[in-house]
Amino acid sequence: MPDIPHMPPTRLLTAVPICDGHDSAVNTVNLEFIRHGFEVVYLGYHRPARDIVRAALQEDVRAVGISSYNGGHVEFFTEVLRLLAEAGAPVRLFGGGGGTITQADAKIMEQRGVDRIFFAGTPLREVVAYARGISEEAFSGPVEMPPSYSDRALGRALSALERGLPGASAAPTGATRVRPAVKTLRIGVTGPGGAGKTTLIDELVLRFLHAFDSGSRVAILSHDPSLPGGGALLGDRATMIYSQHDRVFMRSSATRGQAGGVNATTECASDYLVRTGFFEAVLIETVGTGQEAIPFGAKPGYVDRMILVLPPDYGSRLQLQKIAMLDVADCVVVNKADRRGAKTAVSELEARLRDREDGVSLFLTQANRHRDAGVDRLFESLFRRCVKGA
């Protein structure tokens, strides 16, 4: 990573195309990028070109890397290029495919606009050197804001906020709220690693898409931890199913040294998304947090509802006395209801929360189960007033 003061790490997006489930190569490259200080948004495998380009625009990445082993690389890379050009996004496209992409194929792809194809046996240091060149270009000038609202405009704006550029917090021109009478709902979701926060959010998004009409949108701000060297694997998109939708705006962020589960610009980013007037709700997911964390501040904080998600195996009753979020959360969710001890966990939490004078809702959910009734009840509790006003 070039030594450029006051600049955030370079963001790259990697993915595996549709009809392709080979992810060992891309995971190896991801780890090398992260080790050298890059933030890598990993979209996962079996992803269509539209998903890749949407994510690249929302995440405002400098380049997209595709690992292709399915034999359709010439057509697939060409489609990604076409969609990027259609959006007016100056995003580099590179990739590789072991022995699948031939020298002749690579020549065709590069003639069409692919920046670089790496062949089997290429040293990882060469791939990193290529990405470092992109880094130097990325920070060579100011962020240029698109003139009107789009996923690219929002992505660029959030990057400008991260860099502290003048005027970055201004809403896009022409912003009009879809439902002027309905306030944008900000929901913070936190809990320990492995509790199922990402899957739960994805299920809430599915219910949002069904409950609200086609003019309504939801935003997600997700967080993953930064490594000591500054790199980060931003992998929440890889586990999302329903959030790969045109009505969903998602931004993945690294903590960048900030303790507590979010980063230093999260509150400003959520403020900005609310000011645009385009979203019915903004969901903020923290990294896996510990006993002391209250990521969104003590009430009233900057979110409207705080959700704590716990797995059934949080430990003994004594552990519950130490979790600070249990004293401020509006909703407590015991997820993974199919696991042993889930009902016992609910009973212990009911006892722990009994003395809360301000009231708190407790839900038992299995987010990885289709049409889970517990998730239905949680969604209704969160969005009841919004849905009735729709």
Are residue 191 and residue 334 in the same domain, yes or no? yes
Q: Rg (Cα) of the chain, in Å, rounded?
A: 21
- Answer for the pair 111, 13: CB distance below 8 angstroms, yes or no: no
What CATH number is given to the structural domain containing 23? 3.40.50.280
- Is residue 206 classed as helix, strand or coil in its secondary structure? helix
For 331-364, what is each residue's pLDDT tens digit?
Answer: 999 999 999 999 999 999 999 999 888 889 999 9
In a domain, 89, yes or no: yes
Residues 64-76, buried b or exposed e (16+ Cβ, 10 A)? bbbbbbbeebbeb
Q: Are residues 105 and 185 in the same domain?
A: no
Q: Last residue of a domain, which of 115, 138, 161?
A: 138
266-300 pLDDT, tens digit per residue, is 999 999 999 888 899 999 999 998 888 889 987 77
Segments forming the whole domain that contains residue 101: 11-138
Co-location of 110 and 198 in the same domain: no
Q: Which of 126, 135, 92, 94 is nearest to 231 (CA)?
A: 135
Look-up: residue for tokens 């006993």?
291
Domain annotation covers residue 260: yes
Identify the burial level of 357 via C-beta atoms within 10 angstroms of its C-beta, where 0-12 means exposed, 13-18 middle and 19 or more buried: exposed
| Residue 12 phi, psi (nearest 5) | -120, 155
For the chain, what is the domain count? 2
- Within 13 Å of residue 200, how many CA atoms lie on the same side as its CB? 34
- Kindly state whether residue 1 falls inside one of the protein's structural domains: no
How far apart are alpha carbons 92 and 79 in whole angstroms? 14
Last residue of a domain, one of 111, 138, 165: 138
104 belongs to a structural domain: yes
Q: What is the CATH number of the domain that holds 270?
A: 3.40.50.300
Tell whether 118 and 197 lie within a shared domain. Answer: no
113/194 same-domain check: no
pLDDT, one tens digit for every residue, the chain (390 residues): 333 335 789 999 999 999 888 899 999 999 999 999 999 999 999 999 999 999 999 999 999 999 999 889 999 999 999 999 999 999 999 999 888 999 999 999 999 999 999 999 999 999 999 999 997 776 555 555 555 668 998 998 899 888 876 556 665 554 554 555 568 999 999 999 999 999 999 999 999 999 999 889 999 999 999 999 999 999 999 999 999 999 999 999 999 988 889 999 999 999 999 988 889 999 999 999 888 888 998 777 899 999 999 999 988 888 888 999 999 999 999 999 999 999 999 999 999 999 888 889 999 999 999 999 999 999 999 998 665 444
- 132 shares a domain with 193: no
